[in-house]
Chains A and B, each alone.
Chain A
């Protein structure tokens, strides 16, 4: 006989283990409220216009750079990596929290992921799309970017598979493909809801095509939940590998400050930390302006803030370990470099990094601040800034302060660098804003799954209450 999960008694508007979303009464309310967020507003058009304008500034800067050459972007020996590589690492890092929330927390059955994972996953896809542009922007002849991919060609030339830059190509392309696939597969049942509810014939036809004929049958759900589980299981080690590979771009060299075995875990923790910062930056306005506070509850934000605090502690430990390793290494070049990082030429960047990423998140030890939405949003902006500067501190001081004093130099980004950086934010937010008004920003099917189903006999004693024996592969969310 089938076992049945019984709904808990409602206890006011207080989320509990048995009922995470007490403000939501039934499945129909979920459809109504989430589909209701798809209506464009004037404010949304204004933001979209701003994002497109920023993107155009970036495109103009790039056009100028292609015409003038890479020197227009402020590269002078010895600093031949600058804003583009910093921004590449920054945007890849932003993507990591999305996969952590959608895949890793899914495997761990963390309840707070359910309402925030769709927005985070979209953030991942768009952030990786943004990151992928930067290595291309950094090429003198960007139209030759495909030479990095090993394919049979008339030149009989193959990329060197021992080069970290080639590993990067494989890692980033895999990450983009898998996260976009994971995102789309999760969207299919929700697009089917849109198809069934839509009245405009053109939109209905578009949704019908995108839903691929999904009809919510038991067979579809059975294969879907299994495939989703395996995709999550693939995405979990993938997310750890991608930023490890990005860190190899630095750690495989002999440059002081880069040549360290700590880099892969340090980069992965930093990536997740920065991504959670961006999740707060986007989810807090979404829940406020789309009136979804009863979906993303304060408990969910509190749990995400704990994750933020934990990753901040890991990142802080990595910063301090770097100094300790330099101190104990007995290597004068390394020691000189780290001294220069904090008290020398680039002290201001290092202190922005340390204060934003290590000191300010300490406030999250206070439960009162973890549950203060305004503070979380404010802090998230500083985390974004701090994590961009972390990559600045990794890239610039090392290159400008290598082994030989006569090689030491400086770095001054030009308007082209800033234009392209602004353009990258425009590109990211343009996609994100288009997404939030065209597709459900929260996973309708998964939210319904954590709601207590309507029962004829809510306390039917003829069925066992062994809800804890659910096969993880057969359900999408948690209880």
Chain B
């Protein structure tokens, strides 16, 4: 990974820098911010997260498993309770619901970790402790030929500090 990192103190400067970089065909950009800001997502034209697919699949697996377990137990060890059918779907809905929530939630977290590439053993090139504190960071992936142009652009938009990273 080779590129340029710029640290900004103002949100609007960061957004302007990202917009300008994208206009100049710098498309491999990562932004670091102390808090999620929709302005940054819009400037990056970020796609909606695919976490929802993990949630859906996990939820469906959970509800299926949650109904299957009590139905299987009832079939294996049949006890008539209150004159109701051996496999009664009404009370089993409780177990179905709880396992939908449990497995759906855990798969959502798994999806978030997988998509955001967490856990990460080392912080990537260019990360700076200031980015969790109050600064906004813009990382531009650029080779030696285009790095000076990217650095110039970041400075032009008010970056407090610009560094080449490799």
Q: Do A and B bind each other?
A: yes
Chain A residues packing against B (C-beta within 8 Å):
1-5, 26-28, 31, 150, 157-162, 166-167, 170-171, 173-174, 177-178, 181-182, 185, 189, 192-193, 195-197, 212-227, 230-231, 234-235, 237-238, 241, 245, 248, 445-446, 448-449, 453-457, 460, 463, 470-471, 473-476
Whether B105 contacts A150 by the Cβ 8 Å rule is: no
Closest to A476 in B: B36
Is the contact region of chain A dominated by helix, strand, or loop, or is it mixed? helix
B121 partner residues in chain A, CB cutoff 8 A? 213
Closest to B74 in A: A161
B73 partner residues in chain A, CB cutoff 8 A? 150, 158-161
Known: A26-B134, A222-B41, A222-B49. A231 touches B120 (CB 8 A): no
A31 partner residues in chain B, CB cutoff 8 A? 133-134
Some 19 contacts from A to B, beta carbons below 8 A apart, are A2-B15, A4-B15, A158-B77, A161-B73, A161-B92, A178-B101, A189-B132, A193-B34, A215-B120, A217-B30, A226-B52, A226-B112, A241-B101, A245-B98, A445-B35, A455-B10, A460-B12, A471-B38, A474-B41
Q: Which 10 A-B pairs have the closest CB atoms?
A: A213-B120, A161-B70, A27-B134, A227-B112, A196-B129, A212-B119, A226-B49, A453-B11, A2-B42, A221-B36
Query: B13-57: which have CB < 8 Å to A?
Result: 13, 15, 18-19, 30-44, 46, 48-49, 51-52, 55
Closest to A467 in B: B38
Whether A174 contacts B104 by the Cβ 8 Å rule is: no
Is the contact region of chain B dominated by helix, strand, or loop, or is it mixed? helix
Known: A170-B95, A215-B127. A227 touches B12 (CB 8 A): no
| Bound-complex Cα distance A38 to B152 (A) | 41
Query: For the complex, is B3 an interface residue (Cβ under 8 Å from A)?
Result: no
Whether B109 contacts A181 by the Cβ 8 Å rule is: yes
Chain B residues packing against A (C-beta within 8 Å):
9-13, 15, 18-19, 30-44, 46, 48-49, 51-52, 55, 59, 66, 69-70, 73-74, 76-77, 79, 81-82, 84, 88, 91-92, 94-95, 97-99, 101-102, 104-106, 108-109, 111-113, 115-124, 127, 129, 131-134, 158
| Bound-complex Cα distance A291 to B132 (A) | 23
A197 partner residues in chain B, CB cutoff 8 A? 129, 133
Whether B102 contacts A1 by the Cβ 8 Å rule is: no
Specify which of A166, A446, A474 lies most central, judged by the most chain B CB atoms within 10 Å of its CB: A474
| Bound-complex Cα distance A27 to B10 (A) | 12
| Bound-complex Cα distance A51 to B62 (A) | 39
| Bound-complex Cα distance A222 to B111 (A) | 12
Whether B38 contacts A475 by the Cβ 8 Å rule is: yes
Whether B12 contacts A237 by the Cβ 8 Å rule is: no
Whether A231 contacts B109 by the Cβ 8 Å rule is: yes
Give the shortest distance, in Å, between B56 (CB) and chain A (any CB): 9
Closest to A6 in B: B12
Whether A4 contacts B34 by the Cβ 8 Å rule is: no
| Bound-complex Cα distance A159 to B73 (A) | 8
Give the shortest distance, in Å, between A117 (CB) and chain B (any CB): 15
